[in-house]
Amino acid sequence: MPNTMNTALFELNGVRQAYAKPSGQTYVVLDGVDLTLRDGEVVGLLGRSGSGKSTLLRIVAGLVRPTAGAVRHDGQAVNGPTDGVAMVFQTFALFPWLTVRENVMAGLKAKGVPAREAAARAEEAIDLIGLSGFESAYPRELSGGMRQRVGFARALVVHPEILLMDEPFSALDVLTAETLRTDLLDLWMERRLPIKSILMVTHNIEEAVLMCDRILVFSSNPGRVAAEIRVELPHPRNRLDPQFRAMVDDIYGRMTARRPLAAPSPAANPPPAHAMPLEHVSTNQLAGLLGTLASPVYHGKADLPHLAASLRHEIDDLFPIAEALQRLGFADVAEGDIHLTEPGRLFAEAGLEERKRLFAEHLIRYVPLAAHIHGLLKEAATQRVPSSRIRAELIPFMSGDYAEETLKAVTSWARYAELFTYDDQTETFALEDAD
């Protein structure tokens, strides 16, 4: 490992990102985040979607200004996009109307670097990243892996101190992603990259352990640093190495530690129980995971990393299902393990009618929003409740996107349970037997 890990390049202190809602409530994305980036290290930000890690990356890039807290680069306060950083995007974010060479040169031209020098530097970056021969191609002619290489070359050509990567491999297939990771790590270890440090966002635990010297694990709602983990395994790292596996298991455990599903709200008037955000998971996935857990292979208990690997799911796919099962009282998740509860086992063994009955019962008992809408429908003379009313009740306590997601979740679950239904044309909830 490079041993010059003492100079602080970037310092964030007490960073908070919050949005004021029209209702006067504030919606907190990030809270109390400290982060120091030093010369020679690769730091990973690991967390579920919605934990604010991408926002944090954009704060470092100067694209987003934090609501509170200090951001310093080389001791100077950051007030906007800085020269010292360059970003690689999950979506590649290439200009489709520019060729590979023109895309790579874009950042240099914007800065007014003389044409001759810009061309020479672009050629250098293109060679380094393995794009020689593709200079005159347009992005649409390239495969995903090649496109992301252009993304890397475009970021490196401006010689940033810090390379920021926002889930750079998650839009690629498994093999391509692995090739790109290895190529990047090799260049980094050989110190051929014109950068001092890498900060990457990921939701892939193995990827974080494979690449990073230090991992910050984020909790959600609001995003906070839940744990900081040093990875001191020597490069090149082997995924099958017991120490590597132990570390992955450890992080799974930390991320599924028994905890309240959302951090307690610091607001003066806490939200009512039914105004809790839900993540939409299809009932097919819920039933599928319950069935898998109940099968003789697992006997009602599974290790999440193992389960993820055998189902080819990443944590962003698997965790929401596991959490929804936990919320509905069909499973318990703790310390990187998931096991079926008694109702969960009953559900897995039941027929369709019995499943629906059980699901409806648990929906009323464990999902306050479902119970709330059901209650309103029973009281309403018309047995109809406009969705706008429910949305208005949620919106003071969560972002608009979360409110939509929550409504989608409760609608689909209630439809499956035949508890109540939703009419898209009139945008109203209605009792199942209303018409």
Binding footprint of other proteins on the chain (CB under 8 A):
58, 61-63, 81, 83, 85-87, 89, 91-99, 101-102, 106-107, 109-112, 136, 138-141, 147, 154, 158, 425
**From the CB of 370, what's the least distance to other proteins, in Å?**
26
Residue 22 to residue 350: CA distance in whole angstroms: 47
In angstroms, the Cα distances linking 215 to 6, 178, 198, 396 are 17, 19, 12, 33
Vertex 192, ends 188 and 197: CA angle to 5°?
45
Give 103 or 219: the residue with its C-beta nearer to other proteins.
103
**Any residues with CB less than 8 A from the CB of 199 and at least 6 apart, and which?**
10, 37, 42, 43, 45, 57, 60, 162, 163, 164, 165
**From the CB of 97, what's the least distance to other proteins, in Å?**
4
Give 132 or 136: the residue with its C-beta nearer to other proteins.
136
**From the CB of 155, what's the least distance to other proteins, in Å?**
9
CB 225 within 8 A of CB 33: yes
Two tokens, residue 347: 């559900």
**From the CB of 234, what's the least distance to other proteins, in Å?**
33
Residue 3 to residue 423: CA distance in whole angstroms: 63
Give 10 or 347: the residue with its C-beta nearer to other proteins.
10
**From the CB of 412, what's the least distance to other proteins, in Å?**
17
**Pick from 346, 366, 375: which is nearest to 409 by CA?**
366
Altogether, the residues listed in the chain come to a count of 435
**From the CB of 92, what's the least distance to other proteins, in Å?**
8
In angstroms, the Cα distances linking 327 to 251, 286, 364 are 22, 11, 12
- Give residue 181's Cα distance to chain centre: 19
Number of alpha carbons in the 13 Å side-chain half-sphere of residue 173 = 5
Give 100 or 348: the residue with its C-beta nearer to other proteins.
100
Give CB contacts under 8 A, 24+ apart, made by 429-433. Answer: 429/373, 429/376, 429/377, 429/384, 429/385, 429/386, 429/387, 429/390, 430/377, 430/383, 430/384, 430/385, 431/377, 431/378, 431/383
**From the CB of 279, what's the least distance to other proteins, in Å?**
22
Coil vs helix vs strand at 301: strand
Give 77 or 381: the residue with its C-beta nearer to other proteins.
77
**From the CB of 290, what's the least distance to other proteins, in Å?**
29
**Pick from 306, 303, 219, 213: which is nearest to 254 by CA?**
219
Rounded to whole angstroms, the maximal C-alpha distance in the chain is 76
CB 53 within 8 A of CB 100: no
**From the CB of 390, what's the least distance to other proteins, in Å?**
19
Q: Which amino acid is at 359?
A: F
As to burial, measured by CB atoms within 10 angstroms (0-12 exposed, 13-18 middle, 19+ buried), residue 206 is buried
**From the CB of 411, what's the least distance to other proteins, in Å?**
16
